[in-house]
Amino acid sequence: MSYLYKKLVTVCLLLSLSFSVLALEVGKPAPEFSLPNVATKTASSLSDYRGQVIYLDFWASWCPPCRTSFPLLEALYEKHHTAGFKIVAINMDEEPEAMERFLKLYPASFDILRDPEGEWADKYSVEAMPTSFIIDKKGVIRHIHSGFSKSDIDEIEKKVIELLAESL
Amino acid sequence: MKKNLVKIISLVLVLTGVSACTPVKPWERGNLALPQMALDTDGQEAAFRQHTFYSKESASGGYGGHGGGCGCN
DSSP string, A21-62: PPPP-TTSBPP--EEEBTTT-SEEEGGGGTTSEEEEEEE-TT
Going by C-alpha positions, the residue among A32, A36, A71 that lies closest to residue A54 is: A32
Does residue A109 lie within any of the structural domains?
yes
Give the pLDDT confidence score for residue B42 in this predicted structure.
83
In a domain, A10, yes or no: no
A104 assigned to some structural domain: yes
Residue A74: which pLDDT band, with cuts at 50, 70 and 90? very high
State residue B54's pLDDT score.
85
Closest chain B CA to residue A9: B11
pLDDT beneath 70, residues of chain B: 20, 63-73
- Contact list in A for residue B25 (CB cut-off 8 A) is 118, 121-122, 126
What is the structure's pLDDT at A163? 96
ipTM of the complex: 0.73
| pLDDT tens-place string over residues A128-164 | 999 999 999 999 999 999 999 999 999 999 999 999 9
Looking at the structure of chain A, the number of domains it has is: 1
**CA–CA separation, A132 vs A145, rounded Å?**
5
Distance CA A160, CA A151 (A): 15
Q: Under a CB-based contact definition with an 8 Å cutoff, are residues A70 and A55 in contact?
A: no
Residue in chain B closest to A17 (alpha carbons) equals B19
User: How does pLDDT run across A85-105, given as a tens digit for each residue?
Assistant: 999 999 999 999 999 999 999
Interchain proximity B33–A12, CB inside 8 Å: no
Put simply, whether A89 touches B (Cβ < 8 Å) is no
Angle, helix B2-18 to helix A3-16, in steps of 10 degrees:
10
What's the whole-number average pLDDT of chain A?
Answer: 91
Supply the range of the domain harboring residue A129. 30-165
Would you say residue A137 lies in a domain? yes
**Cβ–Cβ of B33/A62 closer than 8 Å?**
yes
Q: Chains A and B: how many Cβ contacts under 8 Å? A: 70
Within a 10 A sphere around the Cβ of A162, how many other Cβ atoms?
14
Q: Quick one: pLDDT at residue A13?
A: 64
Burial of A93-129, coded b for 16+ CB within 10 Å and e otherwise, reads: beeeeebeebbeebebebbbbebeebebbeebebebb
* pLDDT (tens digit per residue) in A16-70: 554 445 578 999 999 999 999 999 999 999 999 999 999 999 999 999 999 999 9
Would you call A127 and B70 a contact, using CB atoms and an 8 Å cutoff?
A: no
Q: Which whole-number Å values give the CA distances from B4 to A1, A9, A13, A58, in the listed order?
A: 9, 12, 18, 50
Task: Look at residue A51 and tell me if it is in a domain.
Answer: yes
**What is the end-to-end Cα distance of chain A in Å, rounded?**
64
pLDDT value, residue B35: 81
Please report whether residue A17 resides in a domain.
no
> Helices A96-105 and A64-80 sit at what angle, rounded to 10 degrees?
60
> What is the per-residue pLDDT for B46?
86
Residue A55 lies in a domain: yes
Provide the pLDDT for residue B40. 79
Q: Which of A5, A15, A129 sits opposite B27 (nearest CB)?
A: A129
Facing A126 at nearest CB: one of B7, B11, B26 = B26
Instruction: Give me the pLDDT at residue A149, please.
Output: 94
User: Which of B:41-70 have CB within 8 Å of A?
Assistant: 68, 70
Q: Is residue A64 part of a domain?
A: yes
CATH code at position A126: 3.40.30.10
